[in-house]
Structure 1
């Protein structure tokens, strides 16, 4: 099958799910509406408050992207340091392995105490979760690169800097795509958790306020928008990595 046909299948699948949602919730009772809002009322809510939802999406998205970028580059650099020197590995690896099993969300109260309810603490919390995923993936990917490539570069007089920039980093980029996508999902989870627990603004903030008033309509709509936002961001990340590794598709 052609790629266009696969895309059409995906579109039909999503359309079918929306149709089933609409049919199951059509003209339902108020009690049923509270348990699971209808598509009609969700659309009306979006039309009436689209500016609020749009602003909340931008706030959440900016936090996720900033935290992901910080976590990605710090994790990448730390992973390179660990594989560069055995001394650095002896110093850094135990610390990372000690902290890595701790869910970042468990540290949220400390981040609030240390940095308050501002954006700094939220960004650091998101970056920490993304950092742990990227640093482990970087170390594992570099160690799995075929040693023959490194030996060939050394035989041609390449320095360690040249080996990392021209051999190792390009080789691990395809593997980093999967890690970055996982880090993105973690970033969204931590962002919503931070917004839910105390941040001002964002889709998690809307969900928290809607929970108090039992506005399940808003909760469901915010959750759907989170899914759409995550899907679009994941699409952009895949396109970026496909461009960076275009040599791999030749």
Structure 2
């Protein structure tokens, strides 16, 4: 029961933060509209429009930033102050960081599932048609990884500003080598091999295969890799997290 109360508190804290709401609802549509409009002449008469292409990629890019939302949910100043009493509550240290992780994941799942559904049904973007549920599942598992990744950095750094500053480096690596803004394959064989280390690249390639080729050959491997990476992040969080450092 205590865990559910903490979880509810963290979830409501996200809903009370306008910046987090905007970043995870309106921001993806702004990115899609901007990139789609700017690059539409590059796609010509192609069956894949610029809005379709960047609809997928900008959604994945926005999801990659969920790690920042997790950091805010975990260590935003007013949350830290309000949770001093948790140190004295009958809950395990895992309950403390898991409540932040799960509340962020629930919020992200609701937001991005709605974004994908709205983009396909109202704005007629191609997110797989009948395969939309599979793309949603892929995005939701990527969300889980992002939440675990952000939580892990908070547990390591013990400070929101420091966590976000350091976390931006691997997130920037994932995004750049994920090729969401331009085809990374143009930079040569070596760079293309490095890009295989990026979860953004896994998700992007898997999504496009499902949407345009009805190809599910890498669907389960990508999901498994993301889940395994999420578990690793949780294990690291459990090892390094100390509640007394969280509330101080």
Q: Give the TM-score, by structure 1 length.
A: 0.36
Larger Rg: 1
